[in-house]
Chain A
Amino acid sequence: MRLAGDGVEQGMIRELWTYRELAYFLAWRDVKVRYKQTVLGVLWAVIQPFFTMVVFAVLFGQLAKIPTDGIPGPIFYFSALVPWTYFSGTVSNGGMSLVANSGLLTKIYFPRIILPASVALSNLVDFLIGSVLFIGFMAYYKIPLGWNLLLWPGLVILLVLLSLSLGLFLAALNVKYRDFRYAIPFAIQLLLFATPIIYPVSMIPERFRWLVALNPLSGLIEAFRYSLVPSRAIDWGLLWFSIAFTAVLFVVGVAYFKGAEKAFADIV
């Protein structure tokens, strides 16, 4: 085993494999702790997106009358809120994961990337519970599932990678610059409205479409919606941009993380 010097990529992946159980255990700890001593327990995983959906349906659907592409309001909002909740949770908790676990960072060695990765893993539990509830809604509204559903697993992987890449990048920055502690919740709040969650992309005038397209979540969230509710074709242009963006962010994020990693224990 080599301790000092630069890590070879292959070695890094092998090491991550060795420590995979730790990621699982940390995720398991997060899930356990999240719902311990709560009366409603794991129900909280769906209460949050559910009531957000109710508020959206009343506020934006009934009062503001924002179109929902011919999809029933609850389905329209919920299909986007489930991946959005995953994204916002993984980015904000992932971004805090190193600072929040400084006790571990200064006392024990493990690949540091395990910390944001375990957040991505534990939030997946809530995501899957939300998805099950969503299928219940679909049945209630008697909407049949189409062939596009086959895309769904791929979209989940893309969602996880995008959220994780951003989360680990922010986590590394947060160790050095605590500004991000304040910036992240604020930015996520703004992003909620910059993402087609309460409105469809089709509602945006053609000349402003490019603005929406700059947000890598746009293509992804819409694809989630239309892979489940086949009322409209998936916009592959937007989706490809999300994929490319995620790939670049992943490479840059991991590279920055690996570079900054050496100083984590000294400055956290």
Chain B
Amino acid sequence: MTELAHSIEIQNLSKRYRIGRLQQGRTLREDIVEFVKRPFGRRADETDSIWALRNVSLDVGEGEVVGIIGKNGAGKSTLLKVLSKITYPTEGNIKVKGRVASLLEVGTGFHEELTGRENVYLNGSILGMRKRQVDERFDAIVAFSGVEQFIDTQIKRYSSGMRLRLGFAVAAHLEPDVLIVDEVLAVGDAGFQKKCLDAMEGLRSGGRTVLFVSHNLAAVENLCSRGIWLDGGKVRKDGVAKEVILAYMASFAGSPEAESTLVDSENRLGSGEIRYTRVEYLGPDRTPCTLTRSGDKLIIRFHYHANKTVRYPSFGLRIFTNMGTLITETGNVVHGVDVPRVEPGDGYIDVEIESLNLLPAQYYLSLWITELGGTPIYDGDVRAVLEVEPANIYPSGRTPTSRQGIAFFPQKWIAP
């Protein structure tokens, strides 16, 4: 066993999954029939497979905290699973130095019938802790979880939040050399997420190597020194976390102009009775504006096309920062503006923003159209980009920049 220069070394890693019926549990009869039909040739047609990872090569240094980002199906979870030895690579090599703990789920192996105390031991052992280690850390784990009172109660009586906290408490006391975490922050309340982040922060300062998959780009930016953007099973960009996130967000939208063409992704959501076609930015005079500045009056015109008559659609809009933080979510329904009927054909709906209180930066819009109640979704997760330019919004003429935050509020300062 040679000493590794890095904590994790991955060379030309590829993972292929068979799809369709071959993937699922087969019956013996099917295999026999197939064998009789084709006793010699290849059993499965090779085209019936997808590459979840293709020629991925990476080195991760000791103590590095790496955030892995990318769309669903980009291969993030597969990479973590291969690194955790849960699934085997089709091609390529992985070497990991030291003890690996993977946390692809909080509370793996919890048993409903057992008490909290028993589950701490069971879960700890599943995650690779020795009984002696659990003994030593038991009090700390229970204190961290905040469920002391119920520790001798069967966990089937726990709320999902309590279960989550207990599961994370065990994981937080693992002390591995390499920690692999998949999207555990997506669940739980704000307090729990804060605790998770603090624990991960502790790991980072403890000099451990952490690989972290998340859709929470702000968390990735805060925690990770390095970002890796996976796209279609390949590494699209690898570098400083912030830069990788910016590039990733930018890929969602077309070029920032007065008219933003929508990203026409093949995995656009929704049933498609009505869909957005483009977004137009108009100035106060309702003519297309090429420049949108902080504090300006802005009209955003959403063009759509309906295939059939749609009754009471709900148009919605989210505005994100270029780091993926949601600034606001709004729509016609929350404003009490009903659209009783949309006839087949083209049309548009306007949003008038009296003063665009955003500081100069690039922002992203995510649009959707649903039925009044939220389902079915006609069109969803359509992205557009909004570029906000600097303007003299303060009386002093000093122009604020994105370093001063995301938004500004109309205000008056009164001298003492």
Interface residues of A (CB under 8 A from B): 1-5, 19, 21-22, 25-26, 28-29, 32-33, 36-37, 103-110, 175-179, 262-263, 265-268
- Does B109 lie at the interface of the complex (its beta carbon under 8 Å from any beta carbon of A)? yes
What are 28 inter-chain pairs, A to B, with CB distance below 8 A?
A1-B95, A1-B96, A3-B83, A21-B125, A22-B125, A25-B121, A28-B122, A32-B113, A32-B114, A33-B111, A36-B113, A103-B108, A104-B109, A105-B86, A107-B104, A107-B105, A108-B86, A108-B102, A108-B104, A108-B127, A109-B100, A110-B128, A175-B25, A176-B26, A179-B27, A179-B28, A266-B17, A267-B23
Minimum CB distance partner of B125 in chain A: A25
- Does B94 lie at the interface of the complex (its beta carbon under 8 Å from any beta carbon of A)? yes
Pairwise interchain contact A177-B28, C-beta atoms closer than 8 A: yes
- How many whole Å from B3's CB to the nearest CB in chain A? 12
- Does B398 lie at the interface of the complex (its beta carbon under 8 Å from any beta carbon of A)? no
Chain A residues whose CB sits within 8 angstroms of the CB of B98 once the complex forms: 1
Cβ 8 A contact of B94, one of A4, A109, A263: A4
CA of A37 to CA of B126, assembled, Å: 24
CA of A21 to CA of B108, assembled, Å: 17
CA of A175 to CA of B121, assembled, Å: 28
A177 and B27 contact, Cβ closer than 8 Å, known pairs A37-B113, A108-B84, A109-B84? yes
Chain B residues whose CB sits within 8 angstroms of the CB of A178 once the complex forms: 25, 27
Cβ 8 A contact of B113, one of A33, A104, A106, A268: A33
- How many whole Å from A18's CB to the nearest CB in chain B? 9
Q: Which 7 A-B pairs have the closest CB atoms?
A: A109-B85, A25-B125, A262-B88, A177-B28, A3-B94, A265-B87, A107-B108
Pairwise interchain contact B114-A33, C-beta atoms closer than 8 A: yes
Chain A residues whose CB sits within 8 angstroms of the CB of B100 once the complex forms: 1, 109
Chain A residues whose CB sits within 8 angstroms of the CB of B128 once the complex forms: 19, 110
Pairwise interchain contact A21-B27, C-beta atoms closer than 8 A: no
Interface residues of B (CB under 8 A from A): 1, 17, 23-29, 31, 81, 83-89, 92-98, 100, 102, 104-105, 108-109, 111, 113-114, 118, 121-122, 125-128, 130-131
CA of A3 to CA of B94, assembled, Å: 6
Chain B residues whose CB sits within 8 angstroms of the CB of A105 once the complex forms: 86
Minimum CB distance partner of B127 in chain A: A108
CA of A176 to CA of B27, assembled, Å: 7
CA of A143 to CA of B96, assembled, Å: 61
Minimum CB distance partner of B89 in chain A: A4
- How many whole Å from A34's CB to the nearest CB in chain B? 10
CA of A28 to CA of B122, assembled, Å: 9
CA of A1 to CA of B95, assembled, Å: 7
Minimum CB distance partner of A105 in chain B: B86
Pairwise interchain contact B93-A5, C-beta atoms closer than 8 A: yes
Apart from A19-B128, A107-B86: 10 A-B pairs, beta carbons within 8 A: A1-B97, A1-B98, A3-B83, A36-B114, A104-B126, A108-B84, A109-B102, A179-B28, A263-B88, A268-B25
CA of A122 to CA of B121, assembled, Å: 17
Residue of A4, A37, A175, A179 with most chain B CB atoms under a 10 A cut-off: A4
Pairwise interchain contact B108-A104, C-beta atoms closer than 8 A: yes
- How many whole Å from A115's CB to the nearest CB in chain B? 11
- How many whole Å from B337's CB to the nearest CB in chain A? 46
- How many whole Å from A107's CB to the nearest CB in chain B? 5
CA of A199 to CA of B102, assembled, Å: 53
Chain A residues whose CB sits within 8 angstroms of the CB of B87 once the complex forms: 262, 265-266
Pairwise interchain contact A109-B88, C-beta atoms closer than 8 A: no
Minimum CB distance partner of A180 in chain B: B28
Pairwise interchain contact B88-A4, C-beta atoms closer than 8 A: yes
Cβ 8 A contact of A177, one of B31, B81, B83: B31
- How many whole Å from A147's CB to the nearest CB in chain B? 39
Residue of A22, A32, A176 with most chain B CB atoms under a 10 A cut-off: A22
- How many whole Å from B299's CB to the nearest CB in chain A? 49
- How many whole Å from A164's CB to the nearest CB in chain B? 20
CA of A268 to CA of B83, assembled, Å: 19
A21 and B81 contact, Cβ closer than 8 Å, known pairs A1-B98, A2-B95, A104-B108? no
Cβ 8 A contact of A108, one of B26, B114, B126: B126
Minimum CB distance partner of B118 in chain A: A32
- How many whole Å from B56's CB to the nearest CB in chain A? 13
- How many whole Å from B328's CB to the nearest CB in chain A? 36
- How many whole Å from A38's CB to the nearest CB in chain B? 11
Chain B residues whose CB sits within 8 angstroms of the CB of A266 once the complex forms: 17, 23, 87
Chain B residues whose CB sits within 8 angstroms of the CB of A4 once the complex forms: 88-89, 92-95
Chain B residues whose CB sits within 8 angstroms of the CB of A268 once the complex forms: 25
Minimum CB distance partner of A175 in chain B: B25
Pairwise interchain contact B114-A25, C-beta atoms closer than 8 A: no
Minimum CB distance partner of A110 in chain B: B126
Chain A residues whose CB sits within 8 angstroms of the CB of B114 once the complex forms: 29, 32-33, 36
Chain A residues whose CB sits within 8 angstroms of the CB of B93 once the complex forms: 4-5
Pairwise interchain contact A3-B96, C-beta atoms closer than 8 A: yes
Chain B residues whose CB sits within 8 angstroms of the CB of A104 once the complex forms: 108-109, 126
CA of A74 to CA of B23, assembled, Å: 50
Minimum CB distance partner of B123 in chain A: A25
Minimum CB distance partner of A262 in chain B: B88
Residue of B25, B104, B113 with most chain A CB atoms under a 10 A cut-off: B25
Minimum CB distance partner of A99 in chain B: B25
